[in-house]
Amino acid sequence: MRQYYVMSQRDRFLMAGVMGWPVMHSRSPKLHNYWFAHYGLAGTYVPLAIKPEGLEAALRALAPLGFSGCNLTIPHKERALALVDAVDPVARRIGAISCVVVRRDGSLAGSNNDGYGFVHNLLQQQPDWSADAGPVVVIGAGGGARAVVYSLAERGAREIRLTNRTFARAQALEREFGSPVKTIAWDDRHAALDGAAMLVNTTSQGMVGESPLDLALDGLPTSALVYDIVYVPLQTPLLAAARQHGNRTVDGLGMLLHQARPAWQAWFALDPEVTPELRAVLEATF
Ligand X SMILES: NC(=O)c1ccc[n+]([C@@H]2O[C@H](COP(=O)([O-])OP(=O)(O)OC[C@H]3O[C@@H](n4cnc5c(N)ncnc54)[C@H](OP(=O)(O)O)[C@@H]3O)[C@@H](O)[C@H]2O)c1
Point out the residues that are catalytic: 77
| Crossing angle (nearest 10°) for helices 253-268 and 114-125 | 120
- Strand (E) or helix (H) holding 197: none
Residue 107 CB, nearest approach to ligand X (Å): 26
Residue 221 CB, nearest approach to ligand X (Å): 23
Residue 111 touching ligand X (CB under 6 A): no
**In the window 208-237, what residues touch ligand X (CB under 6 A)?**
229-231
**Smaller CB separation from ligand X, 234 or 269:** 234
Residue 262 touching ligand X (CB under 6 A): no
**Smaller CB separation from ligand X, 198 or 229:** 229
Residue 204 touching ligand X (CB under 6 A): yes
Residue 179 touching ligand X (CB under 6 A): no
* Angle of CA points 35, 272, 76, to nearest 5°: 75
Residue 114 touching ligand X (CB under 6 A): yes
> How many other C-beta atoms can be found within 10 angstroms of the C-beta atom of residue 152?
26
Residues 174, 183 contacting (CB under 8 angstroms):
yes
**In the window 241-260, what residues touch ligand X (CB under 6 A)?**
252, 255-256, 259
**In the window 47-76, what residues touch ligand X (CB under 6 A)?**
74
Residue 279 CB, nearest approach to ligand X (Å): 13
**In the window 143-172, what residues touch ligand X (CB under 6 A)?**
143-145, 164-166, 169
Question: Which positions ≥6 away from 175 have C-beta within 8 Å?
Answer: none
3-state helix, strand, coil in the chain (%, to 5): 40, 20, 40
Residues contacting ligand X: total by CB under 6 A: 25
Nearest to 247 by CA among 286, 204, 201: 201
Give the whole-angstrom CA distance, residue 21 versus residue 11.
33
Residue 239 CB, nearest approach to ligand X (Å): 13
Nearest to 186 by CA among 214, 164, 218, 161: 164
Residue 203 CB, nearest approach to ligand X (Å): 3
Q: Which residues bind ligand X (CB under 6 A)?
A: 74, 114, 117, 140-145, 164-166, 169, 202-205, 207, 229-231, 252, 255-256, 259
